[in-house]
Amino acid sequence: MRWIYRELITVGRLLFEEGLVSARSGNLSRAFGDRMFITRTGSNMGFLSSYDILELPLRETTILDTRASVELPVHREVILRTGKSSVVHAHPTYTLRLAYETEKIAPLDSEGKEILGEVPVLSLEKPSASEELAREVSSALKSLPAVAIRGHGVFCAHKELMRAYSYVSTLEHSCKLILTGGQGLSSDKIMK
C-alpha cells in the first residue's frame, strides 16, 4: 500500500507546484479494495507526508472520519456511485473565476475540448461539505471527468489518480486561455 501514499504525495505536490491549490486547500482520495485513502483536514498539498493521509473503510464511518478532509462524504459518494477510484478536489484560480460567470465551461483549445468536453458549473446552496454537494458532484462525475462548483473549486475523478489530477490541470489551462487569451472573441463565444 505504500504506492498509494507515494501517489497521493506526488499528486499533492504537483497540484501545489502548479498553483492549483493554496497552502491549506484541496484534497485527494484513492480507493483500493474496501479501503479508501484520503488527505487529512488542513493538510498542505505541497508537503504531504504519510501522516497527512488517512486509511478509512470505504463503506462505513469511523471516529477517524472527523480527522479526514471535510469533503470526505463527497469523495466517498463519488467513488461508490461512479466506479472511479480516484478523486481530486482543487481550487484553481482561473477555473474559480470563470465559474462565477457561466453555467458551463466550454474550452476553446483543442486539448481541453478533447479531454474534458463541456464542464458543468454547479451553483449550490451549500457548496462545501454538504449532502447536496456529494449528491450533485457524484451524479455529474458518473459520465464526466470534471465538474466545477461556483465559489468552491473543481472535482475531478478517474480510475487513476494521476489522470484525475490531469483533468484539473487541463481545465485550469483552458480557463486561463478563455480569460486571458480570449480578446477578440465575443463574450457569447467565451461564455458558452
CA distances from 37 to 71, 113, 180 (A): 13, 31, 37
Number of domains, the chain: 1
- CATH number of the domain that residue 131 is part of: 3.40.225.10
Q: What pLDDT is attached to residue 80?
A: 98
- Is 154 in a helix, a strand, or coil? strand
- Is 142 in a helix, a strand, or coil? coil
C-alpha cell belonging to residue 79: 467513488
Task: Supply the range of the domain harboring residue 177.
Answer: 2-190
Beta strands per DSSP E along 33-185? 35-39, 53-57, 86-90, 104-105, 119-122, 146-149, 153-158
Contact 44, 23 (CB under 8 A): yes
Q: What pLDDT is attached to residue 182?
A: 62
Q: What pLDDT is attached to residue 187?
A: 37
Q: What pLDDT is attached to residue 138?
A: 98
- Residues of the chain scoring pLDDT < 50: 184-188, 191-192
Show the DSSP H helices in 30-160 as ranges: 72-82, 93-99, 110-116, 131-141
Q: Which of 49, 6, 15 is nearest to 164 (CA)?
A: 15
Helical pair 2-17 and 161-181, crossing angle rounded to 10 deg: 10
Average pLDDT, the chain: 94
CA 146, distance to chain mean position in Å, is 7
Could you count the other beta carbons within 10 Å of the beta carbon of residue 112? 22
Contact 45, 26 (CB under 8 A): yes
Q: What pLDDT is attached to residue 151?
A: 95
pLDDT tens digits, 166-189 = 999 999 999 999 999 865 443 345
C-alpha cell belonging to residue 123: 451553483
Contact 94, 175 (CB under 8 A): yes
